[in-house]
Amino acid sequence: MSQSRTAKPSRPTIPRSTGTQENRDGSFRGKIKPRDQTLLSRLAGEVAIRTFAPEQIERWQREIHEQTLRLSRSINQPNFSRVGRDDLVRMLHMYDDRFFAGKILPVAQAEGLSFSLSSRMTRVAGKLVTNYPQGNHAAPRQFELVLSSTLLFQTFEETGRPVEVTGRLCHDRLEAMQRVAEHEFVHLIEMLIWNDGNCSETRFQSIAQRYFGHTDYRHDLITQRERALIKFDIRIGDEVRFRHDRRMLIGRVNRITRRATILVEDPKGERFSDGQRYLRFYVPLEKLSKA
Ligand SMILES: [Zn+2]
């Protein structure tokens, strides 16, 4: 789950004022002007503080899960084997309607918004691309929200084993798709409102936590773990050996992200909960072999 922006040199522009009104239910009336600063700062104020009770978040997330199963022509079971672009579009609208009173997507659409599923994207589960077609960072942008169908289909290949996405335990592929879509929705919100953003920073994490109950922002929790398991047959807890400064070390896999975190017993290391002292090494998966 990443985001990228295709930058072009910027020229100054003069911000325009707005004629858009808010309806009583909070949705916007009239034609939305692209990149309307008044409108965007109103959204900023809301997104920055709004909180939901955990039960409310879970209720809506479950509802979206159920509605997707009911309405989709492709997704016929929680561990679906087909998914269409229309499923992604419908899902994001359901999120917008429930969590944001339908205010985010129309404002993004006023600038330019497209959704797609990619089978060629194999490194990240989702991404949000921001284009500046006028070559100007202050002008209307084009947002593209993409989910990787390949990575979705890679999760829950073995049934029954839950996986963690965005710090939340998912029990099926549809839940995993929801978590990835939620993550990318937050990227869209940050780009739309603040024209920058990063899921490793506080603002992103605060929004993802308050709206969707995410506790982790990392991109490749499942994919790297799966890769470690499938390609290198390495899992958390395994004893492994690796070369470090011409020495061969033996340790235990403690965590797998981009690299594996290996704990090696050493009197100079930090003390862990088991009472032993360990040094921590970050080792690329391909450099490990089972001890
Ligand atoms: Zn991200």
Q: What is the pLDDT of residue 177?
A: 95
Question: CB–CB of 204/197 below 8 Å?
Answer: yes
Distance 186 CA to ligand 1 centre (A): 8
Distance 3 CA to ligand 1 centre (A): 6
Average confidence score pLDDT of the chain: 87
Distance 216 CA to ligand 1 centre (A): 10
Distance 188 CA to ligand 1 centre (A): 10
Beta bridge partners of residue 145, listed in sequence order: 115, 128
Distance 183 CA to ligand 1 centre (A): 6
Distance 217 CA to ligand 1 centre (A): 6
Q: Report whether pLDDT(34) > 90.
A: yes
Mean pLDDT within 33-56: 96
Distance 199 CA to ligand 1 centre (A): 5
Question: CB–CB of 190/165 below 8 Å?
Answer: no
Distance 27 CA to ligand 1 centre (A): 27
Mean pLDDT within 77-106: 97
Q: Report whether pLDDT(114) > 90.
A: yes
Distance CA 117, CA 37 (A): 30
**Residue 181's CB: how many other CB atoms inside 10 A?**
23
Distance CA 284, CA 235 (A): 13
Distance 111 CA to ligand 1 centre (A): 22
Question: CB–CB of 256/228 below 8 Å?
Answer: yes
**Residue 57's CB: how many other CB atoms inside 10 A?**
20
Q: Which of 57-61, 120-124, 187-191, 263-267 has the lowest mean pLDDT?
A: 120-124
Distance 283 CA to ligand 1 centre (A): 23
Distance 77 CA to ligand 1 centre (A): 27
Distance 218 CA to ligand 1 centre (A): 7
C-alpha torsion sign, points 187, 189, 95, 133: negative
How many residues does the structure list for the chain?
291
* Domain assignments of the chain as residue spans, ordered by start: 2-218, 233-290
CATH code of the region 233-290: 2.30.30
Q: What is the pLDDT of residue 286?
A: 83
- Tell me whether strands 289-290 and 239-244 are parallel, antiparallel or unpaired: antiparallel
Distance CA 243, CA 248 (A): 5
Q: What is the pLDDT of residue 168?
A: 86
Distance CA 184, CA 23 (A): 27
Distance 286 CA to ligand 1 centre (A): 25
Structure tokens at 145: 């929200």
Q: What is the pLDDT of residue 31?
A: 86
Distance 182 CA to ligand 1 centre (A): 10
Q: Report whether pLDDT(10) > 80.
A: no
Distance CA 68, CA 229 (A): 31
Q: What is the pLDDT of residue 167?
A: 83
Distance CA 101, CA 99 (A): 6
C-alpha torsion sign, points 63, 144, 149, 210: negative
Distance 192 CA to ligand 1 centre (A): 15
The b/e string for 217-228 (b: 16+ C-beta within 10 A; e otherwise) is bbbbbbbbbbbb
Q: What is the pLDDT of residue 150?
A: 83
**Residue 187's CB: how many other CB atoms inside 10 A?**
26
Q: What is the pLDDT of residue 2?
A: 65
Under the banding of pLDDT at 50, 70 and 90, the label for residue 229 is low
Distance 2 CA to ligand 1 centre (A): 4
Distance 243 CA to ligand 1 centre (A): 32
Under the banding of pLDDT at 50, 70 and 90, the label for residue 156 is confident
Distance 1 CA to ligand 1 centre (A): 4
Distance 284 CA to ligand 1 centre (A): 22
Mean pLDDT within 264-283: 93
- By the CB criterion, residues less than 5 angstroms from ion ligand 1 are 1, 199
Helix (H, G, I), strand (E, B) or coil at 68: helix
Please give the share of the chain, as a percent, with pLDDT higher than 90: 64
Q: How far is CA 153 from CA 19, 92, 122, 172, 290, in A?
A: 45, 19, 11, 11, 28
